[in-house]
Homo-oligomer: A and B are copies of this chain.
Amino acid sequence: MLTLDYSDHRPLYEQIKEKLKKLIVSGALKENEKIPSVREFAAMLAINPNTIQRAYKDLETEGYIYSVRAKGSFIAPIPAASNAKQVASLREQFTSVVHELCYLGLAESELVRDIQTIYGERKASV
């Protein structure tokens, strides 16, 4: 499902969070789909279950997954009303990265094309 990169300096739970989040926002994991249990996942990655627990808890707080006691954890539905704070923060990150790519000489058209591709995929899958 995903692989760990020990040469990455971030804590393991952050890596796991990020990779799961990517699978969710990219549409690879669908609404209400079941994800592995904490213990299962920990066994698969050969790490401490607490690390998975922490990642799942954070993702639940951020609204990306939900857990049902004795059932397991599932992908949350796409939020209808988006979190304004979260969007603002991401948009700041977005403009920052665009500034840097512009500085490094990447063509504007390439970025616009990337955006169209991403939005196109999403529409198609909905």
Docked CA distance A75–B36 (Å): 33
- CB–CB A118/B93 < 8 A: no
- CB–CB B97/A97 < 8 A: yes
User: Chain A's interface: helix, strand, loop or mixed, by majority?
Assistant: helix
Docked CA distance A93–B95 (Å): 12
Query: Which residues of chain B are within 8 angstroms of A104 by Cβ–Cβ distance?
Result: 79, 82-83, 86-87, 90
Q: From residue 78 to 124 of chain A, which have CB atoms closer than 8 A to chain B?
A: 78-79, 82-87, 90-91, 93-106, 108, 111-112, 114-116, 118-119, 122
- CB–CB A76/B25 < 8 A: no
- CB–CB B93/A97 < 8 A: yes
Q: Out of B7, B90, B118, name the residue touching A76 (CB < 8 Å).
A: B7
Given contacts A9-B67, A94-B98, list 14 more A-B pairs with CB under 8 A: A7-B76, A9-B69, A22-B99, A25-B103, A78-B103, A82-B106, A84-B84, A90-B97, A91-B106, A94-B114, A95-B118, A98-B115, A102-B118, A108-B119
